[in-house]
Amino acid sequence: MQQRGIVSVIVNRIGLREPIRRAGCAAVLLAATTGLVMVPAQAPAQDLEQLRMTIPVPALVFYPIFAAQEKGFFAEEGIEMEVIQTQGDGPDVDALIAGSVQFTTSTPNRLLTAYEQGRPLKAVMSVSGKMQIHCFINKESAAEAGITPDMELEDKLPLLDGMLLAGTRPGSFSYLVGIDYITRGGLVPQEDVRIIGVGGGPAMIAAVENRQADLGCFASPVVEIAVSRGQSEWFVNNALAEDPLFPELLFELVYVRPDYAEQNPETVRGVLRALVNANEWIMQASPEEHLEVVKPLFPELEDDVLLEAIETVKAGITVDGCISDAQVENAVAFLRRVDMLQTEVPPSAVIDNSFLPHDCN
């Protein structure tokens, strides 16, 4: 069944209502004019420590954050977490560096480039340990190029010649994935294949459906929505390890300023405990329990589309939050391939697992 109202699902409103401050009730407010998403915890605000966290987009890869709020795991740690989405990665980390937020959950590009620039940040938890940017392609574009869903990814990439690829914004992780796929296909970005930034998920779906772009790369549930609408098909699902270069990757991580972590270690530990508890809940929850949390965020989506997207996200969740050296090394290799990083980055310089509730050794 075709999904309707994709703009209102992801951009304009996500369950608009007054905050409800009692256990078991979600309150989600999206102010479209500012790009602000707030999901208050379930306890009187005056009793909780007020914290702020940025995320780049309201995608399901951040499900552990949403679950930590809805299921009360932040509140159990004495925390009310205000979540701010910035419509793409970049501004989210700028807010962290500027000190206007205490936490960022985002992709590792700014973590690693900040180290190279002498402004180190610390990754304190892996939220997703697999690439969670996936790509979808217009069915007509795929047919004209001879691309079929059962082809190996490496065989598809040279066939992108002459196409137009969409990421969210230049320099974003989705944009960099596009550059990586173009160059791995033996093609030249902006010559053989044009790549543009189109903004958030609704704009990307519309661009691909109207053939203003042939291919789009985004996180769940945008790709699942696009495919369910019938005009697009999967190009690659990275949560299912369809790209052999991404067996594990430091993809979505929680990071902080080192000075903040040093001055507020118990607060950092409390935030990470809440997120690990949310991870454990997500991995054992029933479909009905998942829908109870996720449906208010995406109320116009069919249940089967949401559940498919949740399974995609679950495949990449790092349940204990531990960051491995291999995750960092693969992220460094990826950013070096796309010329975003010039130097090697030793994992010990940018990760700190000591705030997690589990021993990562």
Quote the mean pLDDT of the chain. 85
> What was the pLDDT predicted at 32?
29
Q: What is the pLDDT of residues 272-299, one digit of tens each?
A: 999 999 999 999 999 999 999 999 988 8
Q: What is the pLDDT of residues 213-253, one digit of tens each?
A: 999 999 888 999 999 999 999 999 988 889 988 878 899 99
- Highest mean pLDDT among 13-27, 120-134, 273-287, 301-315 belongs to 273-287
Domain residue ranges in the chain:
6-130+248-355, 134-240
> What was the pLDDT predicted at 28?
30
Is the pLDDT score of 307 beyond 50?
yes
Is the pLDDT score of 13 beyond 60?
no
Task: Specify the pTM.
Answer: 0.80
CB of 54 within 8 A of CB of 253?
Answer: no
Confidence band, pLDDT 50/70/90 cuts, at residue 354 = very high
Distance in angstroms (rounded) separating the CA atoms of residues 261 and 199: 32
Mean pLDDT of all residues in 318-341: 93
Beta bridge partners of 81: 51
Is the pLDDT score of 208 beyond 90?
yes
Mean pLDDT of all residues in 140-166: 96
CB of 2 within 8 A of CB of 229?
Answer: yes
Mean pLDDT of all residues in 48-68: 91
Is the pLDDT score of 113 beyond 50?
yes
Fold entry, domain 6-130+248-355: D-Maltodextrin-Binding Protein; domain 2 (3.40.190)
Q: Which of 3-12, 46-55, 196-205 has the lowest mean pLDDT?
A: 3-12
Is the pLDDT score of 271 beyond 50?
yes
Distance in angstroms (rounded) separating the CA atoms of residues 286 and 295: 14
Q: Which residue has the higher pLDDT, 248 or 156?
A: 156
Q: Regarding the domain with residue range 134-240, which homologous superfamily does it belong to in the CATH classification?
A: Periplasmic binding protein-like II (3.40.190.10)
Sheet holding 103-106, edge to edge: 79-85, 49-55, 103-106, 252-256, 122-128
Q: Is 105 left (phi over 0), alpha (psi -120 to 50) or beta?
A: beta
Is the pLDDT score of 325 beyond 60?
yes
> What was the pLDDT predicted at 45?
52
| Percent over 90 (pLDDT), the chain | 69
Q: Which residue has the higher pLDDT, 92 or 145?
A: 145
Distance in angstroms (rounded) separating the CA atoms of residues 192 and 162: 6
**Fold: same for 6-130+248-355 and 134-240:** yes
> What was the pLDDT predicted at 246?
84
Q: How many helices (H) and strands (E) does the chain have?
A: 16, 12
Distance in angstroms (rounded) separating the CA atoms of residues 90 and 171: 8
Mean pLDDT of all residues in 342-349: 92
Q: What is the pLDDT of residues 20-57, one digit of tens each?
A: 222 222 333 233 223 334 444 444 555 889 999 999 87
Mean pLDDT of all residues in 178-191: 96
Confidence band, pLDDT 50/70/90 cuts, at residue 59 = confident
Is the pLDDT score of 18 beyond 50?
no
> What was the pLDDT predicted at 88?
67
Distance in angstroms (rounded) separating the CA atoms of residues 74 and 80: 6
> What was the pLDDT predicted at 15?
30
